Structure formats: structure tokens, C-alpha cells
Amino acid sequence: MKSYGKQAIDQSDIDAVVAVLKSDFLTQGPAITAFQTAIATKTTSRYAIAAANATACLHIACLALGVSENDIVWTSPISFVASANCALYCGADIDFVDIDLDTGLMSLAALERKLEVAKQLQKLPKVVIPVHLCGQSCDMAAIYQLAQEYGFKIIEDASHAIGGTYQNMPIGNCKYSDICVFSFHPVKIITTGEGGVATTNSPQLAKKMQQFVSHGITREPELLQNPSHGPWYYEQLALGFNYRMTDIQAALGLSQLDKLDQFVAIRNNLAALYQNKLAELNVTMLTVKQYGLSSYHLLVVLLDNAEQRLRMYHALQQAGIGVNVHYIPIYLQPYYQAKGFLAGYCPNAENYYSKALTLPLHPQLSEQDIETIVSNVKNAL
Ligand SMILES: *Cc1c(COP(=O)(O)O)cnc(C)c1O
């Protein structure tokens, strides 16, 4: 079975993990610091905070921005549920901005309209979480401009997008956001098994997120509220969590990071091949804008209708091609329906969902594999 996504682990990754297993620190050791520094360098952000997974990063990002009860957070309905759940963990309300059908990304026009209405109702969001679906950045300069105008903060959910660029700058540099979050789940671009990183340029946000990752505890002398009792002294300043990444994971991440650019290049080459072959069949892929380089986490095609998508899904699965669907609009989940969201709320998101199919794309696939997959698509049309 050719799965839609798959990790690429080589001997250097295995050696890096084994080296940590033989060292003094399995967690809270030097690999974490090295990994954080490497991510900050790669993304050209000032700070990077590693955590157990991207969901934890989204949670601490919301907390660091002060999201709490009576606040509202907006995100895209076409994403993994974690993009919305993070707001609910903080006791805030969540709402959804419809997407553009051609890119699957949060629609700027819909965002602008919704902000206008929210302003009248005095229900503006505290935080907006744009999602860089499939590895393509949202138009961050435009969203940032709206943030200035309407006074909201921005968390980029870049779970799909490490190694991508926007306006020739690495995604994660936070030029147009407060915090940017990456996931290192095995299906994503690089992996740490489970893991995530939040980047920021703000020393205050970095300190807060660092605290929330580890119980709300600090040892930094300048943050202590009372005189130190001695070298063992620490203080709990907030209600944090144990969201720490281990050194085992960080070592894997560091080793994977060496191959990031290569992985993204392979993904782009295979995507270009798909594009050529699928165009001959009149099958459309999501549009990638000129303003950046997609890391191509996912290769999504939009079929003519729900019937064709279902037929294609079955035919390809039957042929051993592990296609998938990304995503069911978050607010159609029973948990969110129980909160009062109705079907039809974001028409473009629902239209997208009815036609979208994710074809396999990862660095282990060959050009021959792509040709095989596309000929199966052709047969199923
Ligand atoms: C994978 C993913 C997450 C969650 O990442 P984890 O590291 O698994 O917690 C969040 N948002 C999006 C868009 C994702 O694809």
C-alpha cells in the first residue's frame, strides 16, 4: 500500500537517536536546546520552543497570548481539529472563516467581511489562526494588515509547512505573526515521532511558552518573585503542563532537519510531475500562489463531485494506493455541532470537502510511482 504520507528515516537518524539513548540525558538535556536553536536558525525567528506535539504548541501559544474565557478565536474549518480545539482548552469560543475553493486556505475576503460584522457587534476575535494547508502559506502580509486594523493577534498553524517560504522568507520567521507552530508527526515534512515547535520573535511570548511547557515553573533569576532559597530554587508562576519534548525526539528532529530542504525539493518535483500528468486528465490540483514555495505536505485534487470522489477513493484503495481526505470541516464534527454550528455554515469549505482527495506524496515515492498512481486515477475517472 502506498500511503498518502510517510516518514523517511535513514541510518543517520537512527545513529542520532542511539547516541542520545547512550548519553546522560533522555529529556531536558542538550539535544532539546540544540534542536530549538536549529529551528530558530532555519526559520530565522528569534526563539523556538519545542513541545510534545503541535497541539500542545497551539495550546501554549493561545495561553501565552492571554486567550481565556470571554475571548473569541477564529480559524479555518478546513484543518485538523487541533487548530480549533486549542481555543476551547483555554475556555474561549471558536469561530470559523470560510476558505477559498481554489487554494483551500482561509479566504481573505471572507475574513475581511467577517471582521467588519464582528466589529459592529463588538465581537472581534482576540486571535486568528490561519492554517498553511498542504504546506502553502496563507497571504500573511494581508492578514497582518487586517490584524493591525482590527487589533487581533496571529498564530500561524504551520503544521504542514516547515521548509516552505513566503515572499522568499522561511515560514516560521513570524514577520507577520506573533507565533508560528510546526508539527513533527510522522506524516508531516520532518518528524520527531511526536513533536512540535512554536517560533516567535517576542521574548515575552517565548518565556511564557517555555513556562507553560514545563508546569509553569521557572529557574531564571530575573523572573523569580521571591528571594532565592539557594541553587535548587525554582518558582511556579503559572498553571503549566508537562508538554516537554524528550531529547530522544529532539535528536531525531535535528537529524531530520539536515534533510529538510532535500525533502521539500523532492516533494515539489513529484508535485510538478503530478501537475503535468493530471492536467492531461483535466483533474485540478489546489492552486499554489506565486508568493511562496509550498512544502507540499499534501497533494490534494478537487474532483467534479462527491460521487466521483467516492468512486475514485474506492478504486485507488483497491489498487493499493492509500488515498485519504483532508479535511472534514471541523464544525461538522459532532462535538462542534453540539455547540450549535449548523451544516452550511461555510459553503466553500463544504464544497471543498465534498470533492477533495489526497493522493500519496512523500520522499519515498519514485516518478514511476506517480505515473502508476495517475494511470489508476485515469482508469477510475
Ligand atoms: C498535524 C496537525 C496538527 C497537530 O499536530 P500534532 O503534532 O499531531 O499535535 C495541527 N494542525 C494541523 C493543521 C495539523 O495537520
Cβ 101 vs Cβ 77: under 8 Å: no
Residues 6+ apart with CB under 8 A from 263: 8, 163, 189, 190, 363
pLDDT band at residue 2 using 50, 70 and 90 as cut-offs? confident
pLDDT band at residue 3 using 50, 70 and 90 as cut-offs? confident
43 lines ligand 1 (CB under 6 A): no
153 lines ligand 1 (CB under 6 A): no
Residues 6+ apart with CB under 8 A from 231: none
Edge to edge, the sheet with strand 299-302 lists 284-285, 299-302, 356-359
pLDDT recorded at residue 155: 99
82 lines ligand 1 (CB under 6 A): yes
Quick one: average pLDDT of 156-178?
98
pLDDT band at residue 6 using 50, 70 and 90 as cut-offs? confident
Return the best residue to mutate from 7, 53, 55 for the ligand 1 pocket (most ligand atoms within 8 A of CB): 55
Return the best residue to mutate from 76, 83, 241 for the ligand 1 pocket (most ligand atoms within 8 A of CB): 83
Q: Give distance in angstroms: CA of 229 to centre of ligand 1.
A: 41
pLDDT band at residue 208 using 50, 70 and 90 as cut-offs? very high
Of all protein residues, the one whose alpha carbon is nearest to atom 10 of ligand 1 is: 82
Q: Give distance in angstroms: CA of 339 to centre of ligand 1.
A: 22
Quick one: average pLDDT of 51-67?
98
For residue range 132-163, what is the model confidence (pLDDT) as tens digits? 999 999 999 999 999 999 999 999 999 999 99
Whether the model pTM is above 0.85: yes
pLDDT band at residue 339 using 50, 70 and 90 as cut-offs? very high
Q: Is the pLDDT of residue 25 over 90?
A: yes
Q: Give distance in angstroms: CA of 286 to centre of ligand 1.
A: 20
For residue range 252-279, what is the model confidence (pLDDT) as tens digits? 999 999 999 999 999 999 999 999 999 9
Residue with cell 474565557: 69
pLDDT band at residue 232 using 50, 70 and 90 as cut-offs? very high
Rounded to whole angstroms, how far apart are CA atoms 276 and 254? 34
Q: Is the pLDDT of residue 1 over 80?
A: no
For residue range 74-122, what is the model confidence (pLDDT) as tens digits? 999 999 999 999 999 999 999 999 999 999 999 999 999 999 999 999 9
As a whole-number percent, the residues of the chain with pLDDT over 70 amount to 100
As a whole-number percent, the residues of the chain with pLDDT over 90 amount to 98
For residue range 111-125, what is the model confidence (pLDDT) as tens digits? 999 999 999 999 999
